[in-house]
Structure 1
Amino acid sequence: MDVKTMTVALAALLLGGNSAPQAAPAAPAPAPAAPATEASIPADPALWVVKDADTTIYLFGTVHALKPRLSWFDSAVRKAFDESGQLVLEIPLPDPAEAQKVVLPLAIDPDGPPLRQKLTEADRATYVAALTKLGVPAAGIDQFDSLEPWFAAVTMAQIALQKAGFTPGDGAETALDKAAKAAGKPVSGLETLQQQLGYFHDLPQADQIAFLVAGAKDVDKFDSTINAMVDKWKAGDAEGLSALMNEDLTSQPNLYKVLLVDRNARWADWIDNRLKTPGTVFVAVGAGHLAGKDSVQVQLGKHHLTATRVKY
């Protein structure tokens, strides 16, 4: 998963909880939902299953924010969900008020120099130009100066997501969470919000800045990139999605290890342990975790477990 993909994924999750700190400018309103009379758009994203004699664990790769009208929660995905007695997400969808309490201490740097002073002259120009292209006024850019570099990157992606017409209300996690609660299924997370944000907050400052600058450099490509990712996801093209996501992962190996490889290994440990308890579980995580050479499925192989693609 490349840097901009990881930024998009986290931005969508935080956007879903409306957890951006008050220091950051509000993102533009999302594009209006399509009229209910418009036909839905077919989507058949990839689904895998891991099982033993008395336990079944479905693995579903999600996109955290989507455009309206995508018809993905049907067919084999819906059947697997309905069979499951438990929903497990990356993190439980955060309550906005509680999320603010978690995010603020990690997102704001009250003692360090202003964010722009942490950047080289060239990187500063790239960063300011990106925010300007996204419609952030000069006063808003000033407000960004109190943010940690990683969260400035995420907030920038939040704005870009909304401008591109993607909303967390149409995202896979929101639909799954709503369906689980309506059916009385317990919902839990592989991580807490504190843990997930901590991975970013604890990155060395140089990595956070690289994270920010990479996103700023690609701001013009954001719309085409996220749409290409969703197209691969809709088609169930896991390998194509992996190739798109992993196109530049060698450029920031520490980010890749912390945000993807290590987490995939821990999630594989969780799955291995969960197989010891009978039942059926629906696990939904970002699609980038279920593709590529360091995917959850590859990590499961180290436990002598096989994830089988569900054909539909």
Structure 2
Amino acid sequence: MRLLKLFVLPLCAAVALSAPLTSATATGAVAQAAQAAAKPPPVPLLWRVSDADNAVFLLGSFHLLRADDYPLSDDIQRAFAGSEKLVFEVAPDEMFDPSVGQRFLERARYQDGRTLSQTLPADLREKLNRVLAKNGRSLSQVDSLEPWFVNLSLVLGVSQSLGFSSQLGLDQYLMRQAAEAGKGASGLESMDHQLDVMDASPADEQIKALREFLDRPTEVPDMLEEMHTAWREADLAKLDEKARVEMQQKTPQTYRIVNVERNEAWVPQIQKLLDEQKKGDTLVVVGSLHLLGNDGLVERLRAKGYKIERICSACATGTADLAPMPPAALPPAPPVKLTPDDARESKKAEPRH
């Protein structure tokens, strides 16, 4: 399901800004979202790319997480502590610009006079109406919105009912930590470019992705949990199969726009961090899918001749590129703070007896 891939893609604007339309499809999965037992930290998707002078750490993000996904691993905390600056998909000041919400909705609306009702086949209109009706909404209320936005909103509704929060996503968490530590933070692209990418998916692929959701709405919670578990366990094979390969095969033009073209644009920027900066390391945080496969940043930078090392204390001996993390001062892990909205969502997700 293509929209689930956005949680491991660098489209953090989407999960941070779009409001869910419904959470009805989550059904009984809500009770499973809150787990009393403490979990070990997620296994990091972390690589060190280096030349003779300095290094860039590439960290694969998941854009919606739960409070029990923290604290982060010591590997990530050391990479953070040892880096002079951080680079995200979009700079924090752009990410949290108050005008972004309105700009986001402008991209989501049809600009040529069409409506969602005119665009969707009859059977898909009926299925969407049924899903919306369960939450007291109707197709007429979303008729000005394009299929990609409606699909995204539906998926986000499910994710929130499962206890996931964009404010707890790895990107936003590290943005806050960088600000508190006084570290510089910049972006690989502008917010407007990221919003344009969201809106650039071909219409037929948008409809195809929405159909995947509406044909199997009750399966979405399990699919999201599976994707999250693969990220937590750094299961590269499953992430590649369920995210990158599936997206490439089912929606190839969207894959090219969202993944390939942006990787191509980012590689020269990462090279500059290595070639033009003679000292000081940088932590680059991008959607996990951007690190996978031959199209990914890891293999593209390997092909440029840089030294590639996997930083993963929890990984088994024999893991490809595995290297020890150099010692560094390890600060205590800061507490994960929930906003009032997050606290309310977590309360909703508690199992009822």
User: Amino acid of the residue matched to residue 162 of structure 1?
Assistant: Q
SS for the counterpart of 1:113 is coil
Q: Provide the C-alpha distance between the structure 2 equivalents of 1:208 and 1:91, rounded to a whole number of angstroms.
A: 24
Q: Contact 1:55–1:280 at 8 Å: present in 2 too?
A: yes
Q: Provide the C-alpha distance between the structure 2 equivalents of 1:151 and 1:11, rounded to a whole number of angstroms.
A: 16
Q: Corresponding residue for 2:331?
A: none
Residue correspondence of structure 1 range 165-184 to structure 2 within 5 A: 165-184=163-182
Q: Contact 2:9–2:286 at 8 Å: present in 1 too?
A: no
Q: Contact 1:8–1:157 at 8 Å: present in 2 too?
A: no
Structure 1 residues 288 and 129: CA distance shift in structure 2, 3 A: farther
- 183-192 or 197-206: which moved more? 197-206
SS for the counterpart of 1:281 is strand
SS for the counterpart of 2:186 is strand
Q: Corresponding residue for 2:141?
A: 143
Identity %: 27
Q: Corresponding residue for 1:280?
A: 281
* Deviation readout 1:81-114 (Å, 9 max, x if unpaired): 1100111111234226221232122111255232
Normalization by structure 1: what TM-score?
Answer: 0.86
SS for the counterpart of 2:286 is strand
Q: Corresponding residue for 1:153?
A: 151
Normalization by structure 2: what TM-score?
Answer: 0.76
Q: Provide the C-alpha distance between the structure 2 equivalents of 1:98 and 1:128, rounded to a whole number of angstroms.
A: 31
Query: Structure 1 stretches of 5 or more lacking a match?
Result: none
Could you say what the CA RMSD is over the residues aligned between the two structures, in angstroms? 2.9
Question: Number of aligned pairs?
Answer: 303
User: Amino acid of the residue matched to residue 280 of structure 1?
Assistant: D
* Deviation readout 1:4-36 (Å, 9 max, x if unpaired): 33344579834664454xxx85879x979969x
Q: Corresponding residue for 1:107?
A: 108
Q: CA deviation at 1:212?
A: 2.6
SS for the counterpart of 1:198 is helix
SS for the counterpart of 1:146 is coil
Q: Provide the C-alpha distance between the structure 1 equivalents of 2:222 and 2:22, rounded to a whole number of angstroms.
A: 23
Q: Provide the C-alpha distance between the structure 2 equivalents of 1:206 and 1:218, rounded to a whole number of angstroms.
A: 19
Q: Corresponding residue for 2:267?
A: 268
User: Amino acid of the residue matched to residue 192 of structure 1?
Assistant: S
Q: Provide the C-alpha distance between the structure 2 equivalents of 1:271 and 1:303, rounded to a whole number of angstroms.
A: 11
Q: CA deviation at 1:296?
A: 1.3
Q: Provide the C-alpha distance between the structure 1 equivalents of 2:301 and 2:132, rounded to a whole number of angstroms.
A: 40
SS for the counterpart of 2:60 is strand
1:206 to 194, 204, 212: 204
- 176-185 or 224-233: which moved more? 224-233
2:70 matches 1:76: no
Structure 1 residues 27 and 219: CA distance shift in structure 2, 3 A: closer
